[in-house]
Structures are given as structure tokens and as C-alpha cells.
Amino acid sequence: MLDTAAPPVGFAVRCTRTLLSPWSRLSFLVLMLGAAVTAVLAFEPQRLLSAGWPPQLGGAAAVVLFGVAYGLCTAAFVPRPILNLAAGALFGSQAGLVAAVAGTVVGAGIAFGLGRVLGQDALRPLLRGRALLAADGQLSRHGFRTMLAIRLFPGVPFAAANYCAAISRMGWLPFLLATGIGSVPNTAAYVVAGSSASSPTSPAFLIAMGFIALSGVAAGAVAWRKRHRLRGERPGA
């Protein structure tokens, strides 16, 4: 009689399964992000970018390199306003806006890809609570318009929006398009402020700073309204 028992699983196969399990990938993501934050705190790459590093490059090559470095920095949680101001100061309003928006899309794509590949399988089963489920459903069903609204209002942290979208079922194309389009107004305001910072009384600087202030107030008002509405919807409230 033939022996039909399955052969024992080898050690290499078991190790591979363990390393590729959802929780192992999530742990690797956490380690990567922790290392990135540590590197940012230790080396402060935003200072190098604001100084025009590397100094031997100029023109389109400098804009492209700045955009790539911008994306890597935002994926490591460097605040975008600092980088936007640096883009305006280094390249002016037009080229600076191109570099900053391109870097924004690159950074968002990096974070979205890392979250989707390394974190989604482990974190999706943990979604609990009305607020988390509502956010997941909104991003999964109406991804483009939801992400567009998030990018237009600066109240939601950039990195948090990227990783929340990655955990949802939102597609790549709506995410990147909404990020590119929705980040233009606020990014442009910071870039113009950076390009005209040497003339703080100029109309361009004053208009840019006024737009930044108004957008911040509007974001705060929207967040307060949403929070108040959620409290009103709780049972027994």
C-alpha cells in the first residue's frame, strides 16, 4: 500500500512562510520607518536640501534630484512645509512648484506602496470602531474624491493619510492623481512664500501667507464640525 502522507515541511520553507507572514511584514515596515525617522533626526537631510545640495548641480538636474530627495524625506516623516519653502527659495515659484508637487507624489507613492505591501494584510483585520470603519469605507468606495478633499485641507497629516489609504482598498491611480491635484494649492502657497521670503512685505508673500492661514483655519473648522457630528451620532448622546 502506497504511503500518501504529506512530506514534512522543510526548515527553509517554514522560515520563508514566517518571514512572509503579514505580521512579519508589518514588523519590517515598523523597523524601516523607525530607521528612517532616526536617520532624519541624526542627519537632518532637510537642511542639506534647503542649502541647495549638491552644489555642483543646477538647472533641470537639480530640480529632478530635489524632487526625488523630497519624496524620500516625506516618506521618512520630514514635514512638507519645510521642503516646500526650500523648493521656492532654491528654484523660484514655477520650478519650485514642479519639484515640490513631484516630490509630494513620489513620497506619497513610496509610503502607499510600503503600507500596501507590508502592512495591509496585518492591519485590515484589526479595523474596529465606527470611525475607523467609516474612514475605511469612504476611502475604499470613494477614494479619489476623499483623498482629494484630504489633500486640499492641510489638517490631516501627510504620512497618516498615505498609510491609511494603503490599508484601505483604494487603488493606486486614484490615490496618486488625487494627491497630485489636491496638493497643488497649499504647496504653491508655501513655494511662493519661500521664493519671496526675502521680501516679506511683497504682495506675493503676504497673499501666500494669508492663504496658508485661511486654509489652516478652514481645516480646523471642518475637523471641529466632523468631530461634533460624530459625537452627536453616538448612542445616548
Show the domain range for 202.
Answer: 19-233
* pLDDT digit string, tens, across residues 195-222: 998 898 999 999 999 998 888 887 777 7
- Specify whether the CB–CB gap between 123 and 167 falls below 8 A: yes
Output the pLDDT for position 218: 79
More confident residue, 179 or 120: 179
* pLDDT digit string, tens, across residues 90-110: 999 999 999 999 999 999 999
Does residue 8 lie within any of the structural domains? no
Q: Which of 38-42, 92-96, 126-130, 222-226 has the lowest mean pLDDT?
A: 126-130
* pLDDT digit string, tens, across residues 59-90: 889 999 999 999 999 998 899 999 999 999 99
Does residue 1 lie within any of the structural domains? no
The distance of Cα 25 from the centroid of its chain, to the nearest Å, equals: 20
pLDDT beyond 80 at 129: no
- Compute the radius of gyration of the chain from its Cα atoms: 22
- The total number of structural domains that make up the chain: 1
Distance, CA of 24 to CA of 1 (rounded, Å): 41
Does residue 145 lie within any of the structural domains? yes
Does residue 174 lie within any of the structural domains? yes
